A and B are shown apart, each in its own frame.
Chain A
Amino acid sequence: MKRLILAPFLVLLLALSAPAFAQNAPSPGSSRGTVNAEEMELQRMLQGGRVEGRTTIPDARSEVLIQPQGKAWRDFHNVTLAWVGGIAVGGMLLILIAFYLTRGRIMVEGGLAGRTISRFNMLERVNHWMVASSFIVLGLTGLNLTFGRYVLLPIMGPYAFADVSLWGKIAHNFVAFPFTLGIVVMVLLWVKDNIPNGRDIEWFKMGGGLIGKGHPKAGRFNGGQKMIFWITVLGGGIVAASGYFLIFPFWGEFGVADMQLAHIIQSVLSVLMVAAMIAHIYIGSVGMQGAFDAMGSGEVDLNWAKEHHPLWVEQEMAKARQVVSPTGVKPAE
């Protein structure tokens, strides 16, 4: 039963199949019992559960004779995941193109001040780019497993595509480690500035200044950035955990049901994260003037900062004043 740890819902399935199991008991007087292959397969397929028994091979996985859930996983992988992934990633690209064509690049309204303010230090930026570069590798190699067969295989031919996919799989496994490390560091660095509060609701009501008019007030991180933060650390954390489970297929006594569940969680969250990160990349580069500097040089234009993060600028200014005149003497203005 140990291998059911990850799939508590199977307990329910087992419970459901229990009364049916009694139906397979022999009728009185029958010495052979009545077992019927077709009935058993049909029943397990309709009611859940698997045809299981005992083997002499010391591998619990070999005790499953027939698992109809493979069909459900196949449908998930070939139909559900393909559609969810296709709509999420393709849809996000279309939305961003439409947004760019209608709204255009978001400029700093007051123009660039020419003076800058320090937004992210070296550690924050290095860590961001470690997570970002590993996410791009993980995302592309992951998408390749679902879509490569239909997109790349016809172009590259079977052997070149197999080489790319094999190296992609190895890269996917290894790059998972810097990604996870980066997520942990990200939590430590930024969680204190990403606690949701009332201002974030206000921010979302005003469409984040993206859709409506005017700039909602925000501290160091606005509602949208906080959302990206939590998508990254929660989504990334769950994706990493389920991914490590799939990297070590021979570890523990986990069965095929656990692997199917882990794969479903991992792949759905991953394609949604890819879609979210495409939007993040857009707004952090071509989508908004001045935004890239935050993660590029770490120094952002003062007017950009005042428009998007006025409360944070005030805080930083107050800190700076403290440094200049710690006695609290008001500077002549």
Chain B
Amino acid sequence: MARMKFLCDADRCIECNACVTACKNEHEVPWGINRRRVVTINDGRPGERSISMACMHCTDAPCAAVCPTACFYTTADAVVLHDKDTCIGCGYCFYACPFGAPQYPRVGNFGGRGKMDKCTYCAGGPQQDNTRVEYTQYGSNRLAEGKLPLCAEMCSTKALLAGDSEMIATIYRERVQRRGYGSGAWGWRTAYRENITT
């Protein structure tokens, strides 16, 4: 099986936020929740870069390690998913996540946290693939249909790459060699303790 990852080529990202919008639309993500976001660092200064960031589907995922109900699991494609039926909305995964991926609907008693929601790598959840109940809880399951995550698929500059680790690393390495620069694979050091040598 593949080792699925995201890679954002920050030298290509033009901060159009289409990945954010596509994600929200594809999964009908509720108000106040963004499974993906674009962060611009050094904004307006030399060295400005925009990075599209969502769940990085970490190796040894911190969210899974701290979850009080152990609701996380990793699929055969190395996608980190969670079971909303056993999530209690405690917020611990948000404290531990390096990338701010876990999001919570504002519900309940004091406007507290509802069940956690995050990027599923367009791979749904533990429910039966492509069923109504899976869609309601987790959004669409494109991976089960043989498609890649929509954010990367429709990226206008092909800055955001999704797919098998080896494959997207090769694409990125070739790009850097051809154009002569590249700021590296954002989050890879933190998520996978590795980087792409160019």
Contact = CB atoms under 8 A, between A and B. Distances in A.
B124 interface: no
A25 B113 CA distance: 40
Interface stretch (A96-104, A247-255, A296-304, A305-313): A247-255
Contacts of A71: 62, 96, 98
Contacts of B2: none
Contact of B181 (A32, A53, A55): A32
A53 B43 contact: yes
Given A74-B65, A144-B68, A162-B71, A260 B40 contact: no
A37 B185 contact: yes
Contact of A77 (B66, B71, B113): B66
Contacts of B39: 52-55, 62-65
A53 B42 contact: yes
Interface in B87-145: 87-92, 94-100, 104, 106, 108-113
A298 B97 CA distance: 51
A36 B89 CA distance: 35
B53 interface: yes
B17 interface: yes
B25 interface: no
Given A55-B38, A246-B91, A42 B189 contact: yes
B94 A256 contact: yes
Q: For chain B, what secondary structure do more than half of its interface residues adopt (helix, strand, loop), or is it mixed?
A: loop
Q: For chain A, what secondary structure do more than half of its interface residues adopt (helix, strand, loop), or is it mixed?
A: helix
Interface in A49-82: 51-57, 59, 61-68, 70-71, 73-74, 77-78
B149 interface: no
B188 A169 contact: no
Nearest to A44: B190
A307 to B, nearest CB: 46
A77 B93 CA distance: 11
B42 A56 contact: no
Interface in B58-86: 62, 65-71, 83, 85-86
A148 B68 contact: yes
Nearest to B194: A38
Contacts of B71: 158, 162
B88 to A, nearest CB: 4
Contact of A250 (B51, B67, B86, B111): B111
A78 B66 contact: yes
A143 B24 CA distance: 37
A73 B183 contact: no
Contacts of A30: 46
B69 A70 contact: no
Given A32-B181, A67-B98, A158-B69, A250 B106 contact: yes
A159 B85 contact: yes
B190 A33 contact: no
A328 to B, nearest CB: 58
A191 interface: no
A107 interface: no
Interface string A155-176: 0001101100110011001100
A140 to B, nearest CB: 13
A59 B92 CA distance: 19
Contact of A68 (B34, B100, B190): B190
B100 A41 contact: no
B49 interface: yes
A45 interface: yes
A133 interface: no
A96 to B, nearest CB: 27
Given A56-B17, A68-B190, A149 B38 contact: no
A137 interface: no
A322 interface: no
A25 B49 CA distance: 13
A289 interface: no
Contacts of A59: 32, 34
A259 interface: yes
Interface in B21-41: 32, 34, 37-41
Interface of A: 24-26, 30-39, 41-42, 45, 51-57, 59, 61-68, 70-71, 73-74, 77-78, 144-146, 148-149, 153, 158-159, 161-162, 165-166, 169-170, 173-174, 246-251, 256, 259-260, 263
8 contacts: A62-B34, A65-B99, A78-B66, A145-B90, A146-B68, A148-B68, A249-B91, A259-B95
Given A62-B37, A158-B86, 4 more contacts: A53-B51, A57-B34, A162-B88, A249-B104
Interface of B: 10-11, 17, 20, 32, 34, 37-43, 45-49, 51, 53, 62, 65-71, 83, 85-92, 94-100, 104, 106, 108-113, 181, 183-190, 195
Closest 5 CB pairs of A and B: A33-B47, A37-B184, A162-B86, A33-B46, A53-B41
